[in-house]
Structure 1
Amino acid sequence: METLQAIHTRRSIRKYAADKVERETIIEVLKAAMAAPSAGNQQPWRFVVIESRETLDRIPSIHPYAGMVPSASCAIMVCGDTSAEKYPGNWMLDCAAAVQNMLLALHDKGLGAVWCGLWPDAARVDSFRALAGLPEHIVPLALVPVGIPDQKTGAHDRFDESKIHWERW
Structure 2
Amino acid sequence: MNLSEIIKNRYSVRNYKDSKVEKELILEILEAARTAPSAVNFQPWHFIVIQNEELLTQLHSCYDRSWFRSAPTIIVACADHLQSWKRPSDGKDSADIDLAIAIDHITLKATELGLGTCWVCNFDVTSCSAILQLPDNIEPIALIPLGYSDGKRPDKKRKPIDEIVHFDRFNP
Tell whether the structures are fold-level matches, with TM greater than 0.5: yes
TM-superposed deviation, 1:157: 6.0
Q: How does 1:84-163 map to 2 (within 5 A)?
A: 84-87=83-86, 89-117=93-121, 124-153=124-153, 156=156, 158-160=158-160, 161-163=162-164
Indicate conservation of the 8 Å contact 1:9/1:156, yes or no.
no
Q: Structure 1 counterpart of 2:108, which letter?
A: L
| Structure 2 counterpart of 1:53 | 53
Deviation digits for residues 48-99 of structure 1, max 9, x if unmatched? 11111122123332224x4323221210000000111233500110001111
Report which stretch shifted further, 39-48 or 54-63.
54-63
3-state DSSP of counterpart to 1:78: strand
Deviation digits for residues 106-145 of structure 1, max 9, x if unmatched? 0100001111015xx7xx2211101111111100000001
Indicate conservation of the 8 Å contact 1:53/1:70, yes or no.
no
3-state DSSP of counterpart to 1:68: helix
- Using the alignment, how far apart are the partners of 1:85 and 1:154 within structure 2? 36
The change in CA–CA distance for 1:112 and 1:67 in structure 2 (over 3 A counts) is same
CA RMSD of aligned residues (A): 1.8
Unaligned runs of 5+ in 1: none
- Using the alignment, how far apart are the partners of 1:116 and 1:107 within structure 2? 17
- Using the alignment, how far apart are the partners of 2:62 and 2:143 within structure 1? 12
Q: Structure 2 counterpart of 1:55, which letter?
A: L
The change in CA–CA distance for 1:116 and 1:154 in structure 2 (over 3 A counts) is closer
Q: Report whether the alignment pairs 1:76 with 2:80.
A: no
Q: Structure 2 counterpart of 1:82, which letter?
A: H
- Using the alignment, how far apart are the partners of 1:130 and 1:68 within structure 2? 23
TM superposition score normalised by structure 1? 0.89
TM superposition score normalised by structure 2? 0.88
Runs of 4+ in 1 over 6 A off after TM superposition: none
- Using the alignment, how far apart are the partners of 1:117 and 1:67 within structure 2? 16
- Using the alignment, how far apart are the partners of 1:60 and 1:80 within structure 2? 21
- Using the alignment, how far apart are the partners of 2:66 and 2:136 within structure 1? 27
- Using the alignment, how far apart are the partners of 1:16 and 1:67 within structure 2? 11
Q: Report whether the alignment pairs 1:167 with 2:168.
A: yes
Indicate conservation of the 8 Å contact 1:44/1:94, yes or no.
yes
